Amino acid sequence: MPTLPESAVAADASAKTRTLLADLWRRNRPVIEARLATLVLAAAADPLPSELQAEALDVAHKLSGSLGMFGFEAGTALARQIEELLEAADPDRARLAGLAKQLRAMLHPCS
């Protein structure tokens, strides 16, 4: 039985991985959207309730840990910046709003 060249096997595995990640992205998109909404809500809150700040911090942490897996390395960096902002006692909500807007634009380039 003939075997496929190593490059063909690698290309097939790469295509399968891309397909799997695209499917995973589609299935997780509602969760990502909800997390973005939490960040926008936290940025708009005045004053920012401690419970919402803690939730937004958790959301930013989760986004920073997951976006890179989907190919959004710059999104991971933005989420880390948001996470750092939310660790402050009184985060700069204008900066938070700007970063959340950048993150949303990155994840929705056509909107």
* DSSP state string for 29-91: HHHHHHHHHHHHHHHH-SS--HHHHHHHHHHHHHHHHHGGGGT-HHHHHHHHHHHHHHTSSS-
From the list 106, 47, 58, 46, the residue with the least C-alpha distance to 82 is 58
Domain ranges for the chain, please list them.
32-107
Q: What is the pLDDT of residue 5?
A: 65
Residue 58, pLDDT above cutoff 90: yes
* Position with higher pLDDT, 21 vs 75: 75
Gap between the Cα atoms of 10 and 98, Å rounded: 41
- How does residue 71 score in pLDDT terms, banded at 50, 70 and 90? confident
What is the total residue count of the chain?
111
The model carries a pTM of 0.81
